[in-house]
Every structure is written in structure tokens, then in C-alpha cells.
Homo-oligomer: A and B are copies of this chain.
């Protein structure tokens, strides 16, 4: 984790641990706690997560200390369903209606859907906890969250924000997340402003234009998009269109309400647009998109890895460049027992670049990342199995 002299604190945080999910014996009630403890079996999960904070590191720190606990809790709540080949309609396993198993089958509900649901609920729970904690301690800020969970032979990657996870396999690269930014979620955000115009308090326009409009544009027909449009149209500009746009800017400069560069994540409960009473939180989502990789369907090789990194890396390196570095580094260092952590350092250093005068530059003399950079390199291969 490296901070390229941008801010006082490193706003990236990371977590990594084993998660033990307690499997209750069916039929035991909560008040028979001592019996449960005697006969407990555990399911084991492995967890890695990156949190990229903004407005300070506080939300990222709480999330890095708490999200795995939420995930453990939500998995324990449904563990009775996960261990079945097909989750039962009733968690108790009781069958109230003879055709219940058939209903579950018709809906194509599998154990992995319970894990996805648990991850979705865990992110929401964690967001609530962060809100309470930060209100109580008068802290502010928010963070993105990218979490990977290896559980029961499958890798689940849950993402809310603009970090990214990819699998670098022998002859393919598998994206395991997509980024949520004001640009990628423009339609969702504009739609909310259409449904609840009061959220903009008369200070912003929900329309998108190629640039901020000015007085000379009034009365002209200019390119625009509304919430329901993937295409573009022309709109006759009136004075209200001169307001600052709800979603504005391009690429890394894109902002929600002129304030935030991400549209999903945890925290930001108190965040208001500067000098206004406009709240940003209603436009944010804390819900992750979960992608699944099933190890049983792939022949995992010794150099196959999961790369997780904050936008500090991906701003300056594309998937292809990272995959190339991963493959050549691991091939050249096959004997080094620390090669995976060395590779992570190497990726971070490449994105940080080298200092020349006041600027950090990449090898090819492009500007280096000016953001915090965090990278996990996680080997997928299980030597023990061979």
C-alpha cells in the first residue's frame, strides 16, 4: 500500500482473514447454546477485501474491521440452506407444502444464490453500522468496497465502487467485477432525481450535456441525455439548464453532484454538497454486484492468480498490461516462495512510477498514479491437492 504524496493519510485499507461459519445442528434452539457449542461443526471461508476511502480514512478503517464479521453473520443465518444440495423452502427443513422442493427447483435456486444474498445483505448491514458508528464518533467520509470470498469451491467477488478484480489464468483474463461510477450509473442516478426532484433542491439539473452550459447557449438546441436515454438528442436550452449537472465530467473527472467520483460504496451518511443542504447519500448504493467463479469448471494452473486492486493501479495500467506483468514475473520467479507478495509490490511500484522533480512518472514518461495504490495477488492453485 503506497501513498503517492497526495494526502496526509493513506485512504486505502485492506483486510484478509479466515471466516469460520458455525453450523448449527438442526432442531437445536437458540437457548440450547451449550448443546450447540458441544456439537458444532464449522465451514471455512477465506476472505480478502480492499476499501478505498474518501473524505478521510475513517469509513475504510471501520469497513476493514467489520465487513468480514457481517459476512460471517449473514452466512451463519442461512448456513442450514447452504449445506443442502438444493436450499429448502423453509430454513428449518420442514416441508409445509409437498411441492416446495419443486417450487425451489423451478426458480433455479442453488446454494450459491444464498451466498450471493448473504454478501448483498452483509454490505447493507455494514453500511448501517458505519453510519451509526460515524455519527456517534462524529467522523465523516466513505469508502468503496471490493471483497473476495473463497467458499465451498467457489470464488465470490462482491464489488461496490471503482476498485477491480481480475483472474489472470494461463491463457485468459477473467474480469470478476465492473466499476460503479457516476458515469456508469448515470441512468440510475438521473432516474432518482426525476422521481424525487426535491433531492436536487433547485441547485442542479438532472440532464447531461457534453459540457457545462452558459448564457450564450440559452435558446440553442444542444446535445443532451435524460434518464431514459442511452442515445442522445437535442434540447432547446432554457435558464434552468445552466445549473450544475447532477452527473458531470468525463472519465476520472466524472462527479456525482460535483462531489463524489464513485456511485457505490459504504459510509457518506452525513455528506452534503458543499455550501448546500443537498444530501449525496440518497444517490449512492451500498449494494455490491457479485460475480462467481466455479473452480470445479476450470483446470487451475500453478501461476493462476486473482488480482485485486484499487483504482490507483487501474488508472494507469489496463488488464492486459497487468496480465502480461503477472505472467512474466511469475514465470521468472518460480522458485521464490515469496513471489506472489513480490509481484504485488512490483505492480504497486510500476503504477507509482518514479519521482522526477515534482512529478511521479511511469517508465514510458506518462504521468504515474497520484492516488493511493493497493494490490492483492492471490494464488488460486492448491499445491496440497497434487
Q: Which residues of A line the B interface, CB within 8 A?
A: 74, 77-78, 81, 87, 89-92, 94, 96-97, 99-100, 103-104, 106-107, 109, 112-121, 124, 195, 210-211, 214, 216-217, 220-223, 225, 228-234, 250, 285, 287, 289-290
Report yes or no: A220 in contact with B117, Cβ–Cβ below 8 A.
no
Report yes or no: A87 in contact with B231, Cβ–Cβ below 8 A.
no
Report yes or no: B231 in contact with A113, Cβ–Cβ below 8 A.
yes
Contacts of A94 in B (CB 8 A): 220
Given A87-B223, A96-B220, A223-B87: A114 touches B210 (CB 8 Å cut-off): no
Chain B residue at minimum C-beta to C-beta distance from A123: B228
Of the listed residues A91, A103, A216, A233, the one surrounded by the most CB atoms of chain B closer than 10 A to its CB is A233
Q: Out of B96, B109, B195, B216, which one reaches A195, CB within 8 Å?
A: B195
Chain B residue at minimum C-beta to C-beta distance from A105: B210
Contacts of A91 in B (CB 8 A): 220-222, 234
Chain B residue at minimum C-beta to C-beta distance from A74: B233
A114 to B224, CA, bound (A): 10
A-B complex: 8 closest residue pairs judged by Cβ atoms: A116-B231, A117-B231, A91-B221, A117-B233, A103-B210, A103-B211, A113-B232, A228-B287
Report yes or no: B250 in contact with A106, Cβ–Cβ below 8 A.
yes
Q: Out of B78, B96, B195, B225, which one reaches A233, CB within 8 Å?
A: B78
Given A89-B223, A91-B221, A217-B96: A230 touches B120 (CB 8 Å cut-off): yes
Report yes or no: A210 in contact with B106, Cβ–Cβ below 8 A.
yes
> What is the distance, in angstroms, from A233's C-beta to the closest C-beta of chain B?
4
For this complex, 23 residue pairs linking A to B, each with C-beta atoms less than 8 Å apart, are A78-B233, A90-B217, A90-B220, A90-B221, A91-B221, A92-B220, A92-B221, A94-B220, A96-B214, A97-B214, A100-B210, A104-B210, A106-B210, A107-B223, A113-B231, A114-B233, A116-B229, A116-B230, A117-B225, A117-B232, A118-B231, A119-B231, A195-B195
A272 to B216, CA, bound (A): 47
Report yes or no: A290 in contact with B231, Cβ–Cβ below 8 A.
yes
Report yes or no: A77 in contact with B234, Cβ–Cβ below 8 A.
yes
Chain B residue at minimum C-beta to C-beta distance from A77: B234
Contacts of A117 in B (CB 8 A): 225, 229, 231-233
A286 to B216, CA, bound (A): 35
Contacts of A229 in B (CB 8 A): 116-117, 120-121
Given A114-B233, A225-B117, A234-B78: A210 touches B109 (CB 8 Å cut-off): yes
Chain B residue at minimum C-beta to C-beta distance from A96: B216
> What is the distance, in angstroms, from A86's C-beta to the closest C-beta of chain B?
11
A359 to B102, CA, bound (A): 27
